[in-house]
Every structure is written in C-alpha cells, then in structure tokens.
Amino acid sequence: MVKNKSEEELFLEKYDKEKYEKISVAVDLLVFTVENDELKLLVIKRNEMPYKDYLALPGVFVGVDESLEEAVKRGIREETGVENIYFEQLYTWGEVDRDPRMRIISVSYMALVPLESLRMRVGMRVSEVLLMSVDELLEQKDKIGFDHGKIIEYARERLRNKVEYSKIAFELVPKEFTLPQLQRIYEIILGHPLYKANFRKKISEMICQTDRYTSGNAHRPSQYYRLKE
C-alpha cells in the first residue's frame, strides 16, 4: 500500500539526515551608550575572514545548556566587563545566507549602559572594541559586515520609539541625574530638541527629588533626581 508522506514527514526525514548540519544560534549585542552628546554603539573591528576589517556587532554562540539570556549576559560581560545592565530582545534574524560560513540564526538584544559604568571597565578589553557614533555608522553602511547594518537600523528605530512611551532612557544615566542631563539623553536619541517645560511635565511623575545639587558652574545649580520606585 502506497501512503503519501506529508510534507512534515518528508521534512523530518531530511532534517534527520542533515542532523549534523544543524542550525547554529547566536545572540548579537547592541550595546548603546551616550558619549559627547552622541548616541554610540559598541562595535568590533573584525580581524578575520569573512568581512575582515569590516565593523560588526559583538555576539556569542548560544550553548546547548544555556538560555538566550544567559548567553547575552555572558556576551556583555566578555565584551564590556560590566554586569547587571538593562537589556531586551529585539528581533531574530534568520535569512539563510546571512553568514557565508554557515547557517546562523541570530537573536539580537539591545543593551543600554550609562557611559560612567562603561568607563570603569575601559582597558579591560581583549579584542578590538570601539564606541562609534550610530549616525556615522549608518552613514557608511558599506563598512559594516553581515546584515548588521540592518540590525543597527532596526535597533535605533526601536530605541527611538521606546523612549517615547517607556522609562528606557533612564538606563543611560547614573542612578542620580539632573533633568538637563536626562533631557539631553532624550534629545540625542530622538534627534531633535525638546522644550524644557514640556519635558519636565512629561517625566515629572516618573522621578523624585534628592537634596543634592550640582556645584562649581558659573550659573544656577541643577538639582539631582532619581527614578521613582
């Protein structure tokens, strides 16, 4: 008796045969920070083929006994030395030919870290890690390897959107911050200036005062705040 195989059955046969050729899974990291009034991203300069001398996102392969989040934490630790920073999943990229060496599906994660935390770890790095302006990066996408240019664009867009309706920007300032400082972060991410009074009204319910003030500047000092709760 001839039985028609379902597509799934046929697929599983093929799948079994190609077991040795299975898909690799990686996490790609988009570590953002703000430096010199610019949004910057942690990238590496590749010193191997493929895409030798191109820029690329740092990333690690996901181990069989490792969750995606564990892989992300490990990757962040390896590339920056910092721990316990904010991150969130962005998108999963699965085109067949996105890596010429082999089939790699990559789950991208965006991490935000205040420059101060990153600075503490400067010099610890082994491989060639750079902080580059996101605007400049996206102006010369031909220097970015793999599909990472597209991923960076996606992340920047997500960051812009999320700044508007979430508290994500607070991840880019120290625990205590001034409002002009925070406003600068918003403006840099959004790419346009904001009105002081409106900005303060908008975030007023998210913050609470401290009794500390800036000092040493030839103008009125500004008060330090912290995130509420």
Asked if 63 interacts with DNA (CB under 7 A), we say no
Q: Can you give the binding site for a copy of itself, defined by CB under 8 A?
A: 6-8, 11-12, 14-15, 18-25, 60-69, 74, 78, 89, 91-92, 94-96, 103, 105, 107, 126
Report what 198 binds from a copy of itself, DNA, none; CB cut-off 5-8 Å by kind: DNA
Q: Determine the Cα–Cα distance for residues 14 and 163; give it in Å rounded to an integer.
A: 45
Asked if 206 interacts with DNA (CB under 7 A), we say no
Asked if 160 interacts with DNA (CB under 7 A), we say no
Report what 91 binds from DNA, a copy of itself, none; CB cut-off 5-8 Å by kind: a copy of itself
User: Among 6, 36, 47, 215, which residue sits at the site for DNA (rule: CB under 7 A)?
Assistant: 215
Looking at beta carbons only, is 86 or 91 nearer to a copy of itself? 91
Asked if 196 interacts with DNA (CB under 7 A), we say yes
Asked if 218 interacts with DNA (CB under 7 A), we say yes
Report what 107 binds from DNA, a copy of itself, none; CB cut-off 5-8 Å by kind: a copy of itself
Closest approach, Cβ 220 to DNA, in A, equals 3
Looking at beta carbons only, is 89 or 140 nearer to a copy of itself? 89
Asked if 174 interacts with DNA (CB under 7 A), we say no
CB 117 within 8 A of CB 22: no
Report what 180 binds from DNA, a copy of itself, none; CB cut-off 5-8 Å by kind: DNA
User: Among 4, 6, 36, 198, which residue sits at the site for DNA (rule: CB under 7 A)?
Assistant: 198
- Helix/strand/coil (H/E/C) assignment for every residue in the chain: CCCCCCHHHHHHHHHHHCHHHCCEEEEEEEEEEEECCEEEEEEEECCCCCCCCCEECCEEECCCCCCHHHHHHHHHHHHHCCCCCEEEEEEEECCCCCCCCCCEEEEEEEEECCHHHHHCCCCCCCCCEEEEEHHHHHHCHHHECCCHHHHHHHHHHHHHHHHHHCCHHHHHCCCEEEHHHHHHHHHHHHCCCCCHHHHHHHHHHHEEEEEEECCCCCCCCCEEEEECC
Asked if 221 interacts with DNA (CB under 7 A), we say yes
